[in-house]
Amino acid sequence: MPFLGQDWRSPGQSWVKTEEGWKKTTADDKNNNVSVQSFCKEAEEEESFNKENLLLSFNLMNNNTKVPYFHREKWIYVHKGSTKERHGYCTLGEAFNRLDFCSAIKDTRRFNYVVRLLELIAKSQLPSLSGVAQKNYMNILERVVQKVLDDQQNVRPIKELLQTLYVSLCGLVQDMGKSVLVGNINIWVHRMENILQWQQQLDNIQINRPTNTGMTLTDLPVSLQLNIMHRLSDGRDLVSLGQVCPELGTLTEDRLLWKKLCQYHFTDRQIRKRLMVSDKGHLEWKKMYFKLSRCYPHREQYSDTLHFCTHCHILFWKDINHPCTANNPESCTMSLSPQDFINLFKF
């Protein structure tokens, strides 16, 4: 008998023939067992996910725990505006997190570049970093200090970096509550204590003398010794070298050596403004060098630097390169000094 009126069964219901007769069931009743099992599985996954997030959050808050929560990319895209495909801006903290600086400090060609970048951030850019970037900064700094303690090299620039950072933090901690630094003040006090501890370890470092009894620097001809000294770009290294023995001390007083240092770091106009003449009528190039150093910045030179492609807007290390779409990639690639890297994110 056909039904001429509206079906009395509500949507989602069906009739199933059983031994006791026809019974009305729903789709939920059919999949009851499956639903229960699926619900239990989802509950277990959610509980496991919550535990992992809770553990990660605890580790992030704990300053002594090193959690690799930041990216390590070979190159990144620097976007300075919002488009349909991208929303927001690439900040200094984001670039600092995503680029692989942890591996860069292990490379002797990039070590001085990273140290200089850390020093510039410590002077003025630390408050602009996010909380994750600030923690990442301290973790990288600890690895830098540990590398110096292990290798017993580059002690002086790291001491200067730690002193600059400590002075900056002393002023920033006093402004806590004004959204200057992210995190509890006790965390930053603990970090400042770590900096003082690192400074003490660097002060107590003992340079191990080489065990071999082969040829030393003083055994070389004088011309070769001067050639090696001409390759030093810091006058303080020359002064330290001259304190090794009287013979090297005499060579480090060479006027031509200090003249080339002044001409390398400073312009002719800067040199003319700081002329110093001895009683014999000679220019005091050594005294002029240190006087110029107090007035003007030194010329920076690095074995490997970060590069920026103006065509693709991609930031990358020089020896890694990137998939450029330009016809002539070299013409649209420029080398970035540490200061240029920071200026890149000033919108």
pLDDT value for 22: 73
User: How many Cα neighbours within 13 Å face the side chain of 292?
Assistant: 28
Q: Is 12 helix (H, G, I), strand (E, B) or coil?
A: coil
pLDDT value for 285: 92
Position with higher pLDDT, 177 vs 128: 128
**CB 90 within 8 Å of CB 76:** yes
- The DSSP output letter for 211 is -
pLDDT value for 132: 87
| pLDDT category of residue 172 using cuts at 50, 70 and 90 | confident
Lowest mean pLDDT: which of 16-20, 188-192, 235-239, 277-281? 16-20
User: Please, which residues have CB within 8 angstroms of residue 142's CB and are 6 or more apart in sequence?
Assistant: 194, 198
Q: Domain coordinates of the chain in residue numbers? A: 234-295
pLDDT value for 165: 93
Q: Report how far residue 47's alpha carbon sits from residue 41's, in angstroms, rounded to the nearest whole number.
A: 10
Distance from the Cα of residue 25 to its chain's centroid = 63
| pLDDT category of residue 60 using cuts at 50, 70 and 90 | very low
B/e letters for 5-34, b = 16+ CB within 10 Å, e = fewer, are eeeeeeeeeeeeeeeeeeeeeeeeeeeeee
Residue 307 has pLDDT above 60, yes or no: yes
Residue 48 has pLDDT above 60, yes or no: no
Predicted confidence (pLDDT) per residue in 125-171, tens digit: 888 888 888 889 999 999 999 999 998 888 899 999 999 999 999 88
Q: Report how far residue 275's alpha carbon sits from residue 265's, in angstroms, rounded to the nearest whole number.
A: 15
pLDDT value for 163: 94
pLDDT value for 83: 64
pLDDT value for 68: 45
Predicted confidence (pLDDT) per residue in 183-223, tens digit: 778 888 899 999 999 999 999 888 777 676 678 888 889 89
Residue 55 has pLDDT above 90, yes or no: no
Determine what percent of the chain is predicted with pLDDT higher than 70. Answer: 76
Q: 336 — phi, psi (to 5°)?
A: -115, 125
Model-wide pTM > 0.75: no
Position with higher pLDDT, 238 vs 176: 238
Give whole-number Cα distances, 190 to 49, 166, 187, 194, in Å: 31, 12, 5, 6
Angle at 140 between CA 79 and CA 178, to 5 degrees: 70
Distance from the Cα of residue 75 to its chain's centroid = 14
Predicted confidence (pLDDT) per residue in 79-120, tens digit: 766 666 655 567 888 888 888 888 888 888 889 999 999 999
Q: What is the 3-state secondary structure (H, E, C) of 297-319?
A: CCCCCCCCCEEEECCCCEEEECC
pLDDT value for 27: 52
pLDDT value for 78: 84
pLDDT value for 41: 47
As a whole number, mean pLDDT of residues 292-299 equals: 90
